[in-house]
Structure 1
């Protein structure tokens, strides 16, 4: 407790201080008020990179650490903030088909319209005993499950329960949270996606580069091979926002359906390609072509179906997904070009409609940046199951639709890897 009050007082803490605090957090020795004070103190007086390393190390030590007894265990993670963007559900079956081990444990959404675990739960059971999870990974080279049953970095789960309602996501705490979970899961190689854009979590290239350097420093100290990619975060990725709609997008991409969202397909292939290039037998630059061949050949779909079956499949038809029974449409109020899409507002509308608690709730986007529209053209459709949710979402759309219609030259520009 003395170390906690020292941090609240703005002091710099050492390795043993963070070990003691994190152990107390994992053991639930602190009240919510004390936890909140610690989170706010770390956010106000930003942790230096050595403190972030000590915090990460302590969080790994607070729970179970998995050992897959393989030299190459890969994972992919995005820092979040972009609606849709369900690339992990495509990356896992692609890299597992290549033969890489990819035990993907994910969280459920707390402030977003859907997390990977929420979307996978539409297709299969995600709450698996650890023994079952381990067997699935050994057999199929991958999984897509909720991480709550594995006891990985339990202190992080406690801190998240305080951070998310307060919308606190400081760089140091973000780095410690993400890397501790990946290292505890036994990953040796990680591809990290940092999207940037006007309404993304990270809004400028200098900010992205600072975050990248912090991730690389801590990963290096923890002996985790890290490949950071800075990507386009100007708009949602995919057409659906909400568990069922995002599951539809994922299955359409895996089935090579012509209706599948191209942006989701291309981003997933590029991320999968980067992971495949961790394989020492793959020449640098060949990963994308290998990933594309795995997807186009149907091998990724077969692997995904095998993982779904192993985890306990649930009935789902991507051609007729069970969407919310109530809906309304949002149309363009002027002619021009889609010059901006507000990620924050789109996510807010989807959550007001009921996502992720109501799996069939959310938004179905029909226009993206650069699309020409005439006044009255359909921009997106909102789905909900309950009249109150539908009305809350409608009122939010009336205040701000999340779309900006203007000239082609009004689009924001970002210079990113993809």
Structure 2
């Protein structure tokens, strides 16, 4: 701590500005600390309060937002530093980030060894990297620029940067989908089936990255998911499974930082995807994981060649890190279920678990196949018998009972909310549904407000091969705000999503 520590402290004020996980401090442009230290906008600075400290990005403001002797904190910086309104903090230049030289080396095409990656990930996890630095690292590693050993090392250092759970026995089951297929919300159903069978499946999930909903977003419409590690342990020990948002834990903290920046960039990198997925599995204590990879023309993985490359990378990295994985190829030609968006997908999940007559059959069938593979993979059932057992646990109501018990242990089960605004989108001609663009449907659901507005999104009314007549509803848009509904409709006017016509 140097320089500014000899200056008088600044009275801290909470600004009420949400900056996600990036720490931001606001100071008057004529503040004596800014002048004496030569701080300018976007300077990285260290903030000190008693024994606590963080590194934040400086934003300079004009009067009357702040007084000369005040420093404002974003919500995330306030939570991390933990002050009381009016506490005096001291400010200094942030220490030099030596690991940025490694990022620059990667930008210029050099490979990174384990110590270099460890240095970068350690700084990321500690909050030392602003969004611009993280974006540079992500971009440098995208597009096939990381080899196998780099991906293995990245996975390992991401695990070592956080806590690692040990459940004291094996197998510990896990199921994951790489994403890219809207509505493919099989995880809550699979977890319920596996836990109902008596296996342990401590499921941690992410929020949406490039999709209209992540599993954590969907489950949060029904039960609390921001559990701490001890709360998670209690739920798993009591019920055998859980639905926990990984961001509330410290299992792979650097991954949460990377995801925050990857989301607005809409950036998917095989190396980062593999390291992200596997580091979370390993840190959560999983020993056996079934990974679903949907393949389709508008899915995240578009071709068999892409699938084989990703499958091989997942298997090689998992083996090197001591995790058993089984990669499953699934059909990705159209969305799964009817709902796209947190609440709408949650309603599909509930319908399947409850055995409702209107439940989407494709969602239930996919979940049963994956649960069956996981039962066999963990040695619970003989090869070829897992799917029948999974179907029985679902059809008997055992999975639904287990789902309710897990939710109650996490804080209670509630009904997903419905949107205030709905707009049907009608077929413009007679014909067959020949193609459905999953990526554009996902984009449309996000424009309608998902996942930030949990009830927003869209509800599909047709499937591939269905015959429709002009004026029939193809899907319905759901929104919470008129502006978002209008924005989605404007996008829809120039972006065809569902191809209706005669067979080609």
From 162, 185, 190, the counterpart of 2:284: 185
User: Of Structure 1 and Structure 2, which has the larger fraction of its residues in helix?
Assistant: 1
1:400 paired residue number: 495
* Displacement of 1:281: 4.3
**8 A Cα contact 2:173 2:378, kept in partner:** no
Query: 1:41 aligns to what?
Result: 140
Structure having the higher Rg: 2
Matches within 5 A, 1:272-283: 272-283=371-382
Alignment of 1:232-251 (within 5 A): 232-251=331-350
Of 457, 466, 472 in structure 2, the residue corresponding to residue 371 of structure 1 is 466
268-277 vs 16-25, greater mean Cα deviation: 16-25
Give 4+ residue runs of structure 1 displaced > 6 Å after superposition: none
Conserved in 1, the CA contact under 8 Å of 2:144 and 2:270?
no
Partner residue, 1:338: 433
Query: How many Å separate the matches in 2 of 1:106 and 1:161?
Result: 14
Asked if the contact 1:23/1:155 (under 8 Å) is kept, the reply is: yes
Write the distance in 1 (CA, Å) between the matches of 2:156 and 2:150.
10
1:94 is aligned to 2:193: yes
For residues 76-115 of structure 1, the aligned pairs below 5 Å read 76-115=175-214
CA contact (8 A) 1:122 1:314 kept: no
- Report the alpha carbon displacement of residue 325 of structure 1 after superposing the two structures with TM: 1.3
Q: What pairs up with 1:13-412 in 2 under 5 angstroms?
A: 13-44=112-143, 46-316=145-415, 322-408=417-503, 410=504
Q: 1:368 to 1:49 in 2, by over 3 A?
A: same
Q: Tell me, yes or no, if the aligned pair for 1:269 and 1:292 is still in contact at 8 Å.
A: yes
**CA–CA distance in 2 between the matches of 1:57 and 1:111?**
24
Which of 1 and 2 has higher RCO (CA within 8 Å, sep 6+)? 1
What is the SS of the residue equivalent to 1:50?
helix
Deviation (angstroms), 1:278: 2.2
Q: The residue matched to 1:383 in structure 2 has which SS?
A: strand
Give the Cα separation in 2 of the matches to 1:244 and 1:179.
28
TM-score normalised according to structure 2 size: 0.78
In structure 2, C-alpha distance between the alignment counterparts of 1:259 and 1:16, rounded to whole Å: 54
C-alpha displacement of 1:401: 4.2
TM-score normalised over the length of structure 1: 0.94
* 1:149 Cα offset (Å): 2.0
Q: Distance in 2 between matches of 1:38 and 1:46?
A: 11
CA contact (8 A) 1:334 1:375 kept: yes
Shift of 1:52: 0.4
Unpaired stretches in structure 2, ≥5 consecutive residues: 1-98
* Count of residue pairs brought into register by the alignment: 405
Please, which runs of 5 or more residues in structure 1 have no aligned partner?
A: 411-418
